[in-house]
Amino acid sequence: MKKSEIRNPTSPAKRNGIAVYTGVFDPVHLGHIDVIERGRSIFDRLIVGVGINPDKSPFFSTEERVELLRKVVRPFDNVEVQAFDDLAVHFVRRTGAHVMLRGLRTTSDMEYEFNMSLMNHSLDPGIETVFLMAKDTYAHVTGSLLRQVATFGGPLDKFVPPEVAAALMARVRERQQ
């Protein structure tokens, strides 16, 4: 291999096509944003796919989650947000991407994500999964915990952007009326 063929993974000029980062994002939090920021530096284009989980009842509608995400990723020129309502691999394929980006927080995440990546690979062997480990600062942050903190009036500023904290508190007030 010639020296000119060796990639420098830290070089921002050397990136890799399109990746898709899917999730429910209910709500989007700083852990998600960290994965988005890091993913956008690796890939030329990052599509954040806002999906549904039939096993959960979300605090925010799909449209609200998309809008919140669009607000927080607005500074990132190579990130876009789209909703989808089918299998993630079908969404990824429609975007033209061949990579699913996933964040890992804990060992329990690893088991779940490993199984999901095996299923996705079985459904579409042309799509690879790339995992990014969460920074320790965000490893404990989950949408469920943030909804609980908001419901009981706890501080949100360490976990979500200001516009998300405002939306969470407004939703809590709506639900309490």
- CA-CA distance, 162 to 145, in Å (whole number)? 17
Structure tokens at 107: 């060992």
pLDDT of residue 174: 94
pLDDT of residue 5: 47
- Closest residue by Cα to residue 31 from 145, 172, 141: 141
Question: Hey, what domains does the chain have and what are their CATH numbers?
Answer: 3-140 (3.40.50.620)
pLDDT of residue 15: 52
- Closest residue by Cα to residue 97 from 14, 20, 35: 20
pLDDT of residue 57: 87
pLDDT of residue 106: 81
Question: Edge to edge, what strands does the sheet with 45-50 contain?
Answer: 79-83, 45-50, 18-23, 99-104, 128-133
Q: What are the residue ranges in the chain where pLDDT is below 50? A: 1-14
- CA-CA distance, 177 to 33, in Å (whole number)? 31
Asked if 69 and 37 touch (Cβ cutoff 8 Å), the reply is no
Asked if 113 and 34 touch (Cβ cutoff 8 Å), the reply is no
- CA-CA distance, 135 to 152, in Å (whole number)? 26
On average, the pLDDT of the chain sits at 91
- Closest residue by Cα to residue 129 from 110, 107, 108, 106: 110
Residue with tokens 């806002």: 50
